[in-house]
C-alpha cells in the first residue's frame, strides 16, 4: 500500500469505550496497511503508574502536573508486540491491571496530562506513511482532520466478556460482574469529564460490534478504510 507523499501521514482514528474492539481492530488494520499502531490508552496508563509509584493521588492535579516533567513514555515494537516504555523500563504488564484502568481514566481527566499526551501522540505519527491511533479523543481532538474516523460500540455484557478474556490471557484473574461494574464506571468517567470527553466525532462512522466476530469486524472496517483511502487519494470529498 502506498500513500502519496502529500497525503502522509494518513491517519486512521479509532475511538470508542473500553472493550468495544479498538485494539484488535487497530492492530489488524495497521498490520494490513503497513501503518504504525499507536495505543494512546497505554500512555495514560503509564502516567498513572508513574504517579502511583511516586505515591501521588490521581486527584492531586497540581502534583500530577509537576511530575510530568520526570516522565518519558515511548511505545516500542519488539517481537511483533507493543511494549510501553516508562523512563526506559518496559511496563507493559504493570499497566494492564484493572487498578491501572481506573487510575488511567482518573488521570486522563486532568488537562495538563491530556495536553502532554496529545503532543506525544501527534509526534508519534509525524514521520509515518500512515498511522492507526486508538483512544477516546483521536477523531475529535488529536487528529480532527483525519479522513478516516471509526467509532466502535458494543453492549456492556459483551465488552465485559471481552475484557475478562483479555485479562485472563495475560494471567490476570478476573470476575465478570466486577469487570462489568468497572467498565460502566469508566464509561461514565470518560464521557463526563470536562476536557476532551469520549464522544463520537460528527464525521466518524459508527460500527456496532456486539454480534460480529473479530474477523467479520476487521474485514468490514478494512473495506471501509480502503474506500476512504481511495477517495482521499483521488481528492474526492469524503
Cell of 95: 499497566
For the chain, helix, strand, coil in percent to 5 are: 50, 15, 30
Contact assessment for residue 179 and residue 98, using Cβ atoms and an 8 Å cutoff:
yes
Query: Nearest approach, Cβ of 90 to ligand DC (angstroms)?
Result: 17
Gyration radius of the chain's alpha carbons: 17
* Binding flag, residue 18, ligand DC (CB under 6 A): yes
| Residues 6 or more apart in contact with residue 194 via CB below 8 angstroms | 109
| Minimum distance from residue 165 beta carbon to ligand DC (Å) | 15
The answer to whether residue 137 forms part of the interface with ligand DC (CB under 6 A) is yes
Q: Which is nearer to ligand DC, 7 or 102 (CB)?
A: 102
If the CB atoms of residues 39 and 147 are measured against ligand DC, the closer one turns out to be 39
Closer residue to ligand DC in complex, CB, 192/238: 192
Q: Please state whether beta strands 36-39 and 130-135 pair in parallel, antiparallel, or not at all (unpaired).
A: parallel
The phi-psi region of residue 25 (left if phi > 0; otherwise alpha if psi is between -120 and 50; otherwise beta) is alpha
Residue 19 φ/ψ region, left for φ over 0, alpha for ψ in the -120 to 50 degree band, beta for the rest: left
Nearer residue to ligand DC within complex by CB, 86 or 104: 104
Q: Nearer Cβ to ligand DC, position 27 or 186?
A: 186
Q: How far is the CB of 39 from ligand DC (least distance, A)?
A: 7
Single residue of 9, 130, 135, 139 touching ligand DC by CB under 6 A? 135
Q: Please give the residue ranges that form the binding site for ligand DC (CB under 6 A).
A: 18, 40-41, 44-45, 101, 104-105, 108, 135-137, 186, 190
Amino acid at each position: 500500500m502506498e500513500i502519496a507523499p502529500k497525503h502522509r501521514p494518513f491517519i486512521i482514528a479509532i475511538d470508542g469505550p473500553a472493550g468495544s474492539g479498538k485494539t484488535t481492530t487497530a492492530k489488524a488494520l495497521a498490520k494490513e496497511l503497513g501503518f504504525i499502531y499507536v495505543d494512546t490508552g497505554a500512555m495514560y496508563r503509564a502516567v498513572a503508574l508513574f504517579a502511583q509509584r511516586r505515591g501521588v493521588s490521581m486527584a492531586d492535579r497540581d502534583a500530577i502536573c509537576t511530575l510530568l516533567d520526570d516522565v518519558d513514555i515511548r511505545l516500542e515494537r519488539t517481537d511483533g508486540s507493543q511494549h510501553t516504555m516508562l523512563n526506559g523500563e518496559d511496563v507493559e504488564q504493570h499497566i494492564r491491571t484493572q487498578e491501572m484502568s481506573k487510575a488511567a481514566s482518573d488521570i486522563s481527566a486532568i488537562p495538563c496530562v491530556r495536553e502532554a499526551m496529545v503532543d506525544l501522540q501527534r509526534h508519534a505519527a509525524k514521520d509515518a506513511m500512515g498511522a492507526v491511533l486508538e483512544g477516546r479523543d483521536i477523531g475529535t481532538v488529536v487528529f480532527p482532520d483525519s479522513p478516516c474516523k471509526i467509532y466502535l460500540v458494543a453492549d456492556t455484557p459483551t465488552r465485559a466478556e471481552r475484557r475478562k478474556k483479555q485479562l485472563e490471557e495475560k494471567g490476570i484473574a478476573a470476575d465478570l460482574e466486577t469487570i462489568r461494574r468497572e467498565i460502566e464506571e469508566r464509561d461514565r468517567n470518560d464521557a463526563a469529564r470536562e476536557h476532551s470527553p469520549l464522544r463520537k466525532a460528527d464525521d466518524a462512522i459508527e460500527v456496532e460490534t456486539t454480534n460480529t466476530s473479530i474477523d467479520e469486524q476487521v474485514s468490514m472496517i478494512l473495506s471501509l478504510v480502503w474506500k476512504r483511502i481511495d477517495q482521499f487519494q483521488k481528492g474526492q470529498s469524503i
